[in-house]
A = this chain, B = another copy of it.
Amino acid sequence: MTKSQLFEQILQKQSYLCVGLDTDIQKIPKHLLQTEDPIFEFNKQIIDATKQFAVAYKPNIAFYEAFGAKGWESLQKTLEYIPEDCFTIADAKRGDIGNTSGLYARAFFDKKSSGLEFDSVTVAPYMGEDSVTPFLDFEGKWVILLALTSNAGSKDFQNLVTTNEKQLFEEVLTKSQEWGNSEQLMYVVGATKADMLQSIRKIVPEHFLLVPGVGAQGGSLEEVSKYGINSHCGLLVNSSRAIIYASSGEDFAEKAAFEAKKVQLEMQQYLTTYLPH
């Protein structure tokens, strides 16, 4: 999916919501545990319930990998079930040296090899250029590079200040623009404070940002939207638990739809207000 196709979807659905499929067997409704593949069955119903309100789906690969080959099959079925018009993100946070990153790229982009073909994959920047570019070699695919994450530990290294007077995550935002453009690179930015988002937008004005941490993890959607939206929206805001675990009963899909719609309606307002006309 190209940048303009993604923007088109956002306008059509009036939403920049990404639903995180962090599907935990211990948290899904009990009545699903009798089905053949409870994780896929849960995802299927969540996708059906939310697809009119969401432009993107993001399975976190850890939740599938924890079950080995079987989990990998649930992931494959899930990906195939996501409608074509939705942007798909393999939240894998991979990264390895050159030829090896190429293999990870095949794992997530090359259906003939792995059975999976996502639109994008999250990548960790620590190993530098040659760990990222093999993913960019896949035409029409995206790298979503970790810049500023939303967890407590992010301060340990990402906020270290370098002798260039930049924080490490700012070095990542700057340096990586030499490797790819805003048609193939997005950034994970767990920034929910206005001033931080403003300064990030100065470094990457054109790029899409994937923002976690709105919803169950806290963070204000209004602030993110006000300071993050650019001329083609430029935001994908993820919500996982607040939507997919809105209810632990048999009505989980219905409640997920309700929560997703609530977010979509809020986003519609922000698009009207903050998208440049």
Mark A residues whose CB is within 8 Å of B: 22, 60, 62-63, 65-73, 76, 93-98, 100-101, 103-104, 106-107, 110, 113-116, 124-132, 146, 149-158, 160-164, 168, 171-172, 175
Across-interface contacts of A94 in B (CB, < 8 A): 62, 93
Q: How long is the Cα–Cα vector from A67 to B95 in the complex, in angstroms? A: 17
Across-interface contacts of A157 in B (CB, < 8 A): 125-126, 128, 168, 171-172, 175
Shortest distance from the beta carbon of A147 to any chain B beta carbon, whole Å: 10
This chain: copies in complex: 2
Shortest distance from the beta carbon of A124 to any chain B beta carbon, whole Å: 5
Q: Among B93, B126, B175, which residue has its beta carbon within 8 angstroms of that of A146?
A: B126
Max chain B C-beta neighbours (<10 A), residue from A73, A127, A160: A127
Q: Among B60, B71, B103, B153, which residue has its beta carbon within 8 angstroms of that of A128?
A: B153
Max chain B C-beta neighbours (<10 A), residue from A103, A104, A125, A153: A153
User: Do residues B171 and A160 form an inter-chain contact, with CB atoms below 8 A?
Assistant: yes
User: Do residues A73 and B63 form an inter-chain contact, with CB atoms below 8 A?
Assistant: no
Across-interface contacts of A110 in B (CB, < 8 A): 66
User: Do residues B149 and A97 form an inter-chain contact, with CB atoms below 8 A?
Assistant: yes
Given known contacts A71-B114, A130-B153, A131-B153, what 13 new A-B pairs fall within 8 Å (CB)?
A62-B101, A67-B114, A68-B72, A68-B107, A72-B72, A97-B153, A125-B126, A128-B157, A130-B152, A157-B172, A160-B163, A161-B162, A161-B163
Across-interface contacts of A128 in B (CB, < 8 A): 151-158
Max chain B C-beta neighbours (<10 A), residue from A73, A116, A124: A124
